[in-house]
Amino acid sequence: MTEDEVVAQLESSMTIGIGGWGSRRKPMSLVRAIARSDLRDLTIVSYGGPDIGILCATGKVRRAVYGFVSLDSIPLEPHFRQARQQGTIEFTELDEGAFYLGLLAAAHRMPFYPTRAGLGSDMLTMNPELRTVASPYPDADGEMEEFVAIPALRLDVSLIHMNRADKGGNGQFLGPDLYFDDLFAKAADRTFMSCEKVVPTESLLDEGTFHTLKIPRLFVDGVVEAPRGAHFTECPPDYERDEAFQREYAATARDPEAWAAFADRFVNAPSHAEYLKRVDQRTAERAAEGATP
Amino acid sequence: MSAVTGPATLDEICAVAIAETFRGDGEILCNPIGTTPIIGGRLARATFEPDMVMTDTVAFLAANTLPVGDPDAERLIEAWMPYRDIFDLLWSGRRHVVMGASQIDASGNQNLAAIGDWRRPKAQLLGLRGAPGNLVNHVTSYWVPNHSTRTFVPAVDVVSGPGYDRVAGLSATVRANHEVRRVVSNLGVFDFANDERRMQVVSVHPGVTLDQVVEATGFQLVVGDTVDETRLPTDDELRLIREVIDPRGLRRAEFGG
């Protein structure tokens, strides 16, 4: 599939999960395809990074569901901050472990999972729809302990990015952390997976052990081959984060004209191949300007 | 005077004060977040708490003492610890985290989520992150490099990590799990080891007066009859900080250096 073919499967007002973590292995070619589409009023569920930032800045987000939103090397995501500070999005802010349990509950078709995370904090104040539940079993003191019932984060669609995949939808991560991408796939009605490279099934063990084959095809509905598809986020071992590019992206939040120019040149590039060409041009320009890479 | 024997500077005194928060922890995950806390944690393990395990800040537990901020340093990997396992581990309670705090109050309530009304904040910060879960599961300490009435406040705008007043009404299990052990700032060291569970002065850093600390704090601190001075690093600690853990001097960034 192409990115645009994936977006053609999506509808406004959907709840969309996005894999990765912060500014790490995000399916950015798919995120950009949504950003330049007619979709709107999306609920985005993510361990947030520039995916949430770009979709906020392009007006696609009705509600963001997150534990944090960060660019890692730039701790605060400026486009997301702007959306929160201007009040342009609704939000569900959870403890990041509670978020994991919400995905797990959705993957297991459970209505909720209980946790102590959130007790005593303002997570319950900020999310008045959250309920508590009493343990049916007495603790050592005979007390029926009260827990927060984290509701299932059920998703219409998930988007994830892997290092390798076969065309049937078996995905492989080669970096140090899968994050929660397998749970995003299991928590969603449909999952679309981009990857650095599509390889034959018989080559899936050429670059990593069987432990890396954590996304079986029964949870995947479409594969997009997108080399450097996570750019500018990191995708080890294939590439590190493009820090210079990320700094430019972050700086545009201060200036609407700068953002418009950035969005026009990069976010709205009509295809992923064209985006990569423009990124490489920009890198060359920066080198010519004598900036540090 | 050589680099190793030169007098300790404030950044090094703070790193040692953070290391001291881990004293007695034994075989748990020592999980400091941020440059100065990481230096403190690695220093504690390299000296008086050798049984602690520590991450390389990516996804592995490294058995060797790593230099801070050096992604290419050689790691002696002893376990794989991706994010999901961190959550599983923290719910087991075998962890002591050192987090930052954009605001903290007298009961140890911490805010790193937002400044102002959270519905539409003046400044959106990181979000709740893992603070709500951390505090009700294991020991937490805080590092605040900019001690002032803007950071040490009468009431935090959002409670990310609940303090003692917030957990007082919760279950026996939560109260047993919850411990805000220490707060280390650029001015002193604080804990909650009194009946009221209110922040009290443990020590002030060399060159800092108690009056300065009181003036920079937006609530009434508990002050004992005597106030100690934060201890100086030993020669061995200075050598470890300067030559092994932070040879590039990254620790000075938070201190205007």
Contact B133 A139 (CB under 8 A): no
- Candidates B61, B88, B136: best to mutate against A (most CBs of A within 10 A) is B136
Contact B82 A177 (CB under 8 A): yes
Nearest to B129 among A67, A141, A146 (CB): A67
Q: Is B24 left (phi over 0), alpha (psi -120 to 50) or beta?
A: left
Contact A179 B83 (CB under 8 A): yes
Name the H helices within A156-236.
Answer: 181-187
Instruction: For residue B231, give how far its alpha carbon lies from the nearest alpha carbon of chain A (Å).
Output: 32
The pLDDT tens digits for B128-140 are: 999 999 999 999 9
**Rounded to two decimals, what is the model's pTM?**
0.96
- Candidates A52, A122, A127: best to mutate against B (most CBs of B within 10 A) is A122
Q: What domains can be seen in chain A, in order of their start residue? A: 3-93+153-198+212-267 (3.40.1080.10), 112-151 (no CATH)
Phi, psi angle pair for B222, to nearest 5°: -80, 125
Computed over its alpha carbons, how large is the radius of gyration of chain B? 18
If we measure between CA atoms, which residue out of A252, A273, A254 comes closest to residue A263?
A: A252
Give residue A77's Cα distance to chain centre: 14
Q: What residues of chain B, 6 to 25, have a C-beta less than 8 Å from chain A?
A: none
Measure the CA angle with vertex B70, ends A67 and B184; round to 5°.
60
Q: In chain A, whose CA is at the least distance from the CA of B89?
A: A97
The pLDDT tens digits for A236-292 are: 999 999 999 999 999 999 999 999 999 999 999 999 999 999 999 999 999 998 866
Cα–Cα dist B214/B10, whole Å: 19
Q: Is B159 on the interface with A (CB under 8 A)?
A: yes
Q: How many CB atoms lie within 10 A of CB A155?
A: 27
Q: Is B122 on the interface with A (CB under 8 A)?
A: yes
Q: Which mean pLDDT values do the consecutive 10-residue runs of chain A (293 residues) have?
A: 98 98 98 98 98 98 96 96 97 97 98 98 97 96 96 98 98 98 98 98 98 98 98 98 98 96 98 98 93 60
What confidence score (pLDDT) does residue B1 get?
43
Residue A259, H or E segment: helix A256-262
CATH class held by domain B10-255: alpha beta
Q: In chain A, whose CA is at the least distance from the CA of B85?
A: A179
Both ends of chain B: CA-CA distance in Å? Answer: 20
Cα–Cα dist B198/B165, whole Å: 9
- Positive or negative torsion for Cα A4, A8, A13, A15: negative
If we measure between CA atoms, which residue out of B97, B75, B77 comes closest to residue B87?
A: B97
Q: Which residues in chain A touch residue B119, judged by CB atoms under 8 angstroms apart?
A: 87
Instruction: For residue A208, give how far its alpha carbon lies from the nearest alpha carbon of chain B (Å).
Output: 15
Cα–Cα dist A254/A78, whole Å: 8
SS3 string, A48-87, reads ECHHHHHHHHCCCEEEEEECCECCCCCCCCHHHHHHHHHC
- Candidates B33, B129, B164, B250: best to mutate against A (most CBs of A within 10 A) is B129
What confidence score (pLDDT) does residue B257 get?
56
Q: In chain B, whose CA is at the least distance from the CA of A147?
A: B171
What confidence score (pLDDT) does residue A290 get?
80
Low-confidence ranges of chain B (pLDDT < 50): 1-2
Cα–Cα dist A277/A254, whole Å: 26
CB B145 within 8 A of CB B101: no
Q: How many CB atoms lie within 10 A of CB A50?
A: 26
Residues paired with residue A75 on neighbouring β-strands, in sequence order: none
Nearest to A141 among B124, B132, B172 (CB): B172
Which two structure tokens, joined as six digits, stand for A82? 């702007």
Amino acid letter for position B204 = V
